[in-house]
Amino acid sequence: MTAQVHAHTPNGLTIWLTGLSGAGKSTLAALLTDRLREQGQAVEWLDGDELRRSLGRGLGFSREDRFENIRRAVYIAGLLNRHGVITVVSVISPYADMRSYARQELPGFVEVYVDCPLPVCEVRDVKGLYAKARTGEIPCFTGISDPYEAPADPELKLHTAERTPEQCMEKLISWLTEHRLYQL
């Protein structure tokens, strides 16, 4: 699949990073946002944890609440895109229908699967969330007690257990450039 937006259109682009907690979405998003900003691009980063803290208060982790959180992220990304802003979204978005909704609502949607095996994500977990989920302290935790539906056909898949964050960011920049969604 290839997003149907070009660098010189008035609409922005949404780069949607999806994957398990600890897969490297936020690290990659920070690197990508910095790189795009250094290149003079109008770019904003919507981080899943920040969105939950600022706009998702009162939302739990039921499927419906997770979908509402995604709706809010899509709405903000759409507003930014209409003003020509590249939006980097780093959210788990565990269900395929959530990502399908984002794709339908955002004309310049690029799905990037930040693929990392669960055992590696658990080792990277500095907050101890996986351990709490395994003991039942955190219910409905994606990858443990709640499913993660891996993207069937993302525009790009990045294997963060096999490559450094910088290598993954370079691969993403190369993909965007190759598909004329970003120009140096």
What residue segments make up the domains of the chain, in order of their start?
14-178
Tens of pLDDT along 1-57?
444 433 434 568 999 999 999 999 999 999 999 999 998 999 999 998 788 777 766
Tens of pLDDT along 40-56?
999 999 998 788 777 76
| Residue 19 annotated as part of some ligand binding site | yes
The CA angle 18-48-97, to the nearest 5 degrees, is 45
Confidence (pLDDT) at 57: 67
Confidence (pLDDT) at 182: 60
- Average pLDDT on 98-126 reads 95
Q: What percent of the chain has pLDDT over 90?
A: 67
Confidence (pLDDT) at 148: 94
| Residue 25 annotated as part of some ligand binding site | yes
| Residue 40 annotated as part of some ligand binding site | no
- pLDDT higher than threshold 50 for residue 176: yes
| Residue 26 annotated as part of some ligand binding site | yes
Q: Which amino acid is at 64?
A: E
- pLDDT higher than threshold 90 for residue 64: no
Those residues with Cβ within 8 angstroms of residue 141's Cβ, 6 or more apart along the chain or in another chain: 21, 61, 129, 130, 132, 133
Torsion, Cα of 86, 91, 95, 100 (10° steps): -10
Catalytic residue selected from 54, 62, 90, 93: 93
Threshold 0.85, pTM exceeds: yes
List the single range of 4-8, 14-18, 136-140, 179-183 with lowest mean pLDDT.
Answer: 4-8
Q: Top-level CATH class of 14-178? A: alpha beta
Integer Cα distance of 80 and 90 in angstroms: 15
Q: Catalytic residue at 93?
A: yes
| Residue 84 annotated as part of some ligand binding site | no
